[in-house]
Structure 1
Amino acid sequence: MREANDGVDAEGFIRQVPGVPFQMEYRALLAAVRYQLPALLGRHLIALYVYGSVAEGRARPGQSDLDLTLVLSDACPAGLLVQLEQRRRLLERCHGEVSKIDFDIGRRAEALAPGNRLSWGFWLRHHCRWLWGEDLARRYAPFKPEVGIARAVNGDVLTVMQRYILAHASCASPVERLGIQREAARRLLRAIQVLRRLDERGWPWTLEDHYSRAQRLHPEQRAALDFFYAEARQPQAAAVEFAQQLGAVLLWFERQLRQG
């Protein structure tokens, strides 16, 4: 029997972001984003979405990030991307209610390509909440759980994690290093779903869901999972310890991929 909190609805479709009112603490920032980004990018901004804890109404003021997906025109000039990054930093400095602002950027053709249905299509339909522009999520029907989605959304996990290792090794400050540890730990916990079994019916939604699922299915990695879950919430491990832990779990991950 399906569990009530397994991430799917009564018809077996993966649940979508609830349309709850945005938390009061973030409404001024979201209003600024809805005004400033279209004004900056003009016709080159096709669609703007929010995802993550702010979208779902469970953000913690001063601790949670603001995560935004921007879909740009295929002809958006590189110079505008430089200005966009400058605007992101300005918004970040002016709004202490979030710890960080992240832009996830794609192009319209990429978001609508048939070959990206399980990646961009699923992402827009099930993880993003529309803020401005053309709602491309309407182009896609709801999705049911399948391993192909986990693989498409997470991409080449080993390559992605190797980038984190390189970035971690070259950090210029402790603050930057801890930020990378948090991001890498969160990405790793979610990426373990790439090892999804064919008979699984549920779908993890929150970071806690991913952590609980990984503990249940990979008990031999419980100590490592506990470590990365702690780092995902409040990073504090020494650089050497984090690098060693990440290297070890990636070796395990690679063996699991080969066996699968």
Structure 2
Amino acid sequence: MAGTAHRPGLDAEGFIAREGSLARVPDVFRPVVAAARDRLAGVFGARLHSAYLYGSIPRGTARVGHSDLDLLLALREEPTDADRAEARALGAALDEEFEQLDGHGTLLFSRARLLSDLERYDLAWFVACLCTPLLGEDLAARLPRYRPDSLLARETNGDLHLLLPRWRRRIAEADDTAEARRPLVRFMSRHLVRTGFTLVMPRWNGWTSDLREMAEAFAGYYPERAEQMRGAAVLGREPTGDAAVLRSYVDDLGPWLAAEYARVHGVKAPRPA
């Protein structure tokens, strides 16, 4: 059984430390970040309250030709379909222009939602601990500090039981090709590893965003599922288009993990439809 010693990812007082910074962006990705910053301001103008980077680029672990550009935008009002379309178009243009990138994704939320009580231990935590300020006022200044406790675990990933039916639909609707399945394998692998990690996070007593470290932390508490989680960590970095992997996620590992998560931490507070 793994111990409960103080782990990396926490500050001296036991709070989760913000993990990224612009100073950590690898030199080869700096033109990407500069272009994103300039174009976001041009596209969204006064509607944009603040913009953030997250993922491997601000953590300094991005790999040329393998890493995607991950952005979170806080808008002054609720995002519209037009806002989402503009964000997708901007991400696609950057992905096509810069060979360093392999994909893109932009999350859009209103400032009010990010600061709401309902999101205090989910989206707000994400901004405060996993996002790096790129433009505008940093909302982290208005948020509390966070410990790796059961409340945070429940509110961040306690909704896997709701996601699995959607995953099954996405798999069924995808083209029957390895190329079409590869992004699904990458996305679902990462999500399952992160959920497995937050399942044990309060006992492990720390934070990491490294998929391999997450899988190893999980393995210390669930050795019977260790190889599945280690395999998912590999596929989260180097995905294949294997249909059998996706079936195993939605028919075996995913349902087991959802049930165990609910047993240990409970389920995430309902969100509006």
* Equivalent AA in structure 2 for residue 6 of structure 1: P
Q: CA RMSD in A?
A: 2.2
Partner of 2:129: 126
1:57 to 55, 60, 74: 60
- Structure with greater contact order relative to length (CA < 8 Å, sep ≥ 6): 2
> 1:37 Cα shift?
1.1
- Is this contact kept in 2: 1:61–1:97, CA < 8 A? yes
Question: What is the percentage of aligned positions where both structures have the same residue?
Answer: 25
1:209 correspondence with 2:223: no
Distance in 2 between the 1:58 and 1:65 partners? 11
* Equivalent AA in structure 2 for residue 196 of structure 1: V
Partner of 1:226: 230
Deviations 1:175-226 (A, max 9, x none): 2211110110000110124533755422333222211111111101123213
- Is this contact kept in 2: 1:34–1:132, CA < 8 A? yes
> 1:255 Cα shift?
3.6
Q: TM-score, normalised by structure 1?
A: 0.90
* Equivalent AA in structure 2 for residue 251 of structure 1: P
- Is this contact kept in 2: 1:161–1:188, CA < 8 A? no
Q: TM-score, normalised by structure 2?
A: 0.86
Alignment of 1:91-170 (within 5 A): 91-170=94-173
Q: Counterpart of 1:48 in 2: which secondary structure? A: strand
2:251 to 241, 244, 247: 247
Q: Which stretch has the larger CA shift, 238-247 or 224-233?
A: 238-247
* Equivalent AA in structure 1 for residue 65 of structure 2: G
Aligned length: 260
Q: Counterpart of 2:121 in 1: which secondary structure? A: helix
Distance in 1 between the 2:261 and 2:24 partners? 41
- Is this contact kept in 2: 1:48–1:69, CA < 8 A? yes
- Is this contact kept in 1: 2:9–2:19, CA < 8 A? no
* Equivalent AA in structure 2 for residue 156 of structure 1: D
* Equivalent AA in structure 1 for residue 82 of structure 2: G
Distance in 2 between the 1:117 and 1:259 partners? 22
Q: Counterpart of 2:119 in 1: which secondary structure? A: helix
> 1:155 Cα shift?
4.5
> 1:248 Cα shift?
0.8
* Equivalent AA in structure 2 for residue 83 of structure 1: E
1:11 to 10, 13, 28: 13
Distance 1:24 1:7, change over 3 A: same
Distance in 2 between the 1:170 and 1:161 partners? 14
Partner of 2:242: 238
Distance in 2 between the 1:15 and 1:227 partners? 28
Distance in 2 between the 1:185 and 1:215 partners? 15
- Is this contact kept in 1: 2:54–2:70, CA < 8 A? yes
Distance in 2 between the 1:197 and 1:30 partners? 31
- Is this contact kept in 1: 2:5–2:205, CA < 8 A? no
Q: Counterpart of 2:11 in 1: which secondary structure? A: coil
| Structure 1: gaps of 5 or more residues | none
Q: Counterpart of 1:203 in 2: which secondary structure? A: coil
> 1:258 Cα shift?
5.1
